[in-house]
Amino acid sequence: MTMTAVQAPASAPGHDCILCGRCLEVCPLFAATGREELSPRAKFHILARLAANDPALRGKAASDLAGLCLSCGRCQKACPLGLCAPDMVGGLRAAHPGWAHFLWKVWITRAGLVWPVAMSLNRLAGQPPPPPAGPFSRTRAALAALDPDQAARPWLVPVRFDASHAGRRVVIFPGCVASHARTDWIRAARFLLRGLGVTLLDDPGFACCGGPLGHAGLPAARDVARRANIHIWRDAGRPTLAVFCASCHHALTAYDPALFAPVEAEAWRESIIPLAALLGRTDFEKTAEAPQNVLYHTPCHAPPDDPDFSLLSRVLGQSFGQGPNPCCGFGGLMQLTAPSLAARTAAHCWKVHNPPPQACVLTSCGGCAVHLAATRPATVAAGHWLEMVRCGRPEKDGEEAAPPPRTPPPPGE
């Protein structure tokens, strides 16, 4: 579900929609295409008629149209009734599975096998052509964005660590992208956590957070992943989960309380903390390689206070402003079912951001980071902010770099 289990109202059917149109103001598909039949309001209307077995509707065509959803969840925040198109569409997708669901399930649940092979084949094929490009070229660009060999040169160096969490038992929840592709993000996260002085546990092998599976209409696979993650966390002694993907954070905090032992659900939610929040007042310096212009892309599923936004604003000494906040257009399953619509949403995103040449766009979501890197203008860099953290040079092969010394924050901070 898009809201957390403790926040979400009872799921209301689509026929409760009052057609106020507030969802149109926030829907990225509608913003990118101007097509109201793609809006949440239209989805609620179609879903209500499908539920009523309206003979005027062809079930397959109507369900395909209603299933064109990026799963951003913005409609739920805007709707006065709290109606959530991603939750309803997830149920519809589950009722009408097809080839795309099978491929998506394999892509997510077998990522450790499939992704490295796909990236290796993509390397052998050479550099993908620049945009504009067709579906095959877009796929190649996405695989290149997953490839750690394509990482940008880091330019952000930690110089003083906040010692507030020293000794705390912490384990990294890396998410699918970092686990199976961008392992450089995990390396940077480990470096930063070691600098904080926490008791950093070894990687216990977490599964997918479950979000990409649930929204794709794969509730059984989602719940398998959820139960696996809860079991791993429980066996590790219920440590703090350091999360650096906003979508993972969102999905983890939405786990159904029924999956937990009594009173355990609250401990689970309290254990999930963004890495940026754990860093507190840690200070960074920019190297000479730092770009002159840095922008921040706020993920659709960022927490309300977005600690990554706050961290980067502080350490870079700049305000990213409160202007329009576009969706990157990733859309999960829509990469298979409607890639052209996802591409149009990405193009609209870049039009809104309008970065100057040589700018760098940072974000805090694995899906956003990959999709932005795959669709960026040729003169612009894009990626997760962890990619920009310089971890230093190991003293010996195979050793992690030693972080700078920890010092308590100055009084008053």
Q: What is the mean pLDDT of each successive set of 10 residues along the chain, which is 413 residues long?
A: 39 70 94 94 87 79 83 94 91 87 95 94 78 75 89 92 95 97 96 97 96 95 98 97 98 96 94 98 94 95 94 91 86 92 95 95 97 94 96 54 59 50
- pLDDT for 61 equals 77
- pLDDT for 413 equals 47
- pLDDT for 128 equals 65
- pLDDT for 402 equals 60
CB 141 within 8 A of CB 374: yes
Length of the chain: 413
- pLDDT for 15 equals 61
| CA neighbor of 156 nearest in space, from 365, 302, 311 | 311
Q: Report the alpha-carbon angle 178-158-282, nearest 5.
A: 95
- pLDDT for 224 equals 97
- Separation of alpha carbons 207 and 184, rounded Å: 18
Ordered by start, the domain boundaries in the chain are 14-96, 111-413
- Separation of alpha carbons 264 and 60, rounded Å: 41
- The tokens of 52 are what? 């009523």
The pTM (predicted TM-score) of the whole model is 0.90
Helix (H), strand (E), coil (C) string for the chain: CCCCCCCCCCCCCHHHCCCCCHHHHCCHHHHHHCCHHHCHHHHHHHHHHHHCCCCCCCHHHHHHHHCCCCCCCHHHHHCCCCCCHHHHHHHHHHHCCCHHHHHHHHHHHCHHHHHHHHHHHHHHCCCCCCCCCCHHHHHHHHHHHHCHHHCCCCCEEEEEEECCCCCCEEEEECHHHHHHCCHHHHHHHHHHHHHHCCEECCCCCCCCCCHHHHCCCCHHHHHHHHHHHHHHHHHCCCCEEEECCHHHHHHHCCCCHHHCCCCHHHHHHHHEEEHHHHHCCCEEEECCCCCCCEEECCCCCCCCCCHHHHHHHHHHCCCCCCCCCCCCCCCCCHHHHCHHHHHHHHHHHHHHHCCCCCCEEEECCHHHHHHHHHHCCCCCEEEEHHHHECCCCCCCCCCCCCCCCEECCCCCC
- Separation of alpha carbons 120 and 126, rounded Å: 10
Q: Report the alpha-carbon angle 49-52-56, nearest 5.
A: 55
- The tokens of 175 are what? 């998410």
- pLDDT for 67 equals 80
| CA neighbor of 268 nearest in space, from 253, 246, 278 | 253
- pLDDT for 129 equals 63
- pLDDT for 318 equals 86
